[in-house]
Amino acid sequence: MNAIATLLDGIDTSRPLLHQVDMALRKDTDWRSETAKHVASLSVEDLVRLARHDGETPDVDPRVLTVSERDGVGLVRVNLFCRERFFELWRRGTLSPHYHRRSFATRIVKGSYQHLRFDNAGSQDAPQLSCTSREVLKEGSGYGIEWQDYHFVMLPADATVTINAHLPPAVPAKVTAPPPSAETLARLRDDILTALAAEPALPV
């Protein structure tokens, strides 16, 4: 089995999970090759089964594909960023600093983007944010983030691909939407494989 399929194996649920998944993603592994191998191995039926965790969110970047799961531990997802899509959604005003309902660790396997972190002097859903860091992250770099922390990914190099290890949800979903269709999932799988096979994206 490849490194993506086994990424969450060996995680000890009696210990803090975020540090463990962050360290798992820091292993000296050819994540680009392993991600391509695993995504290519998934059938449409696999994608549909894994997509039950996802509601389709049409107005955000990146596009997200769940590629592995471990009960009680979490999910592995692959994100595909598109620079043109980012700017289109930015102009529409649908992108902004946000938090996730799952803590997660991420690693860039191809490309780059700018990553911003924020302090929140308000509440979770009525935030008063101040930016505390802004850095350019490139292939091989990554980070872990707790679910309640606000952050923002911007200005991705085209066809940037990341792998994320997500922990179980800390809070319920605000919006329940249907999962993506089989056709949408198959197209996203193919787009991820195309991105991983292409020349590295230009840095931001």
pLDDT (tens digit per residue) in 110-136? 999 999 999 999 999 899 999 999 999
CA separation (Å) from 70 to 4, 11, 98, 111, 138?
Answer: 12, 10, 26, 27, 28
The answer, yes or no, to whether the previous bond of 179 is cis (omega within 30 of 0) is no
Please say if the pLDDT value at position 60 is more than 90. Answer: no
**Alpha-carbon distance 113 to 128, whole Å?**
24
198: how many CB neighbours lie within 10 A of its CB? 13
Buried b (16+ CB within 10 A) or exposed e, 67-77: bbbbeebbbbb
Please say if the pLDDT value at position 204 is more than 60. Answer: no
pLDDT at residue 2, rounded to an integer:
87
CA separation (Å) from 57 to 64, 72, 138, 180, 184?
Answer: 9, 25, 26, 9, 12
Helix 182-197 crosses helix 31-41 at what angle (to 10 degrees)? 150
Mean pLDDT check: name the lowest of 23-27, 55-59, 115-119. Answer: 55-59
- AA identity, residue 72: G
Mean pLDDT check: name the lowest of 23-27, 54-58, 162-166, 191-195. Answer: 54-58
CA separation (Å) from 142 to 35, 80, 199?
Answer: 15, 15, 20
pLDDT at residue 124, rounded to an integer:
93
Element housing 166 (H / E): strand 160-166
**178: confidence class by pLDDT, cuts 50, 70, 90:** confident
pLDDT at residue 59, rounded to an integer:
81
pLDDT at residue 160, rounded to an integer:
97
Half-sphere exposure of 115 (CA within 13 A, CB side): 15
pLDDT at residue 177, rounded to an integer:
76
Strand partners, 68: 76
pLDDT at residue 6, rounded to an integer:
92
Which pair of tokens denotes residue 84? Answer: 């043109």
pLDDT at residue 107, rounded to an integer:
97
**200: confidence class by pLDDT, cuts 50, 70, 90:** low
The answer to whether 39 and 193 are in contact (CB under 8 A) is: yes
